[in-house]
Amino acid sequence: MQRPLEKRVSEELNWLMSVLEMPHDSGTSYPVFQWTFGAKDGIKGGTLRAWPFQGILVLDVRGDEEKFDTTLSVLKRIDEYGWGEPSHIDEVWQDIQETKSKFPTRNIEEAQQIFEELRQKWQTLATS
């Protein structure tokens, strides 16, 4: 199936990437990949977050959150705003599926190792 979106909207407006930390009840934390659509000067249209533990993508536009379980469904919604395709979305989604398949783990140390590997990979993606 053909991709519905362009990779870049304009030089001024684009998806900015970062990796957040989400604390967990177990005392550890896990990475959340975040794309923010807007300008580097702070103008923001919306935020897309990839949640590896839950296996979902969440689009937040002006406080209205929508959950998606496929990249195609979230890209169709993003297309309605004319924002273009977030960089690395397919790779991040694949990472989410692989991470989710590794749970439950035998112990917290194993979970921490999985999240550390994912965190390092995503930090590299976010700076590319």
Residue 58, burial from CB neighbour count under 10 angstroms (0-12, 13-18, 19+)? middle
What is the reported pTM? 0.87
Domain segments of the chain as ranges: 14-126
Nearest to 97 by CA among 126, 67, 69: 69
Local confidence band at 9 (pLDDT 50, 70, 90 cut-offs): low
pLDDT in tens, 38-47: 877 777 899 9
**Cβ-contact 9, 82 below 8 angstroms:** yes
The H-or-E segment that residue 72 falls in is helix 71-81
Residue with tokens 């536009």: 61
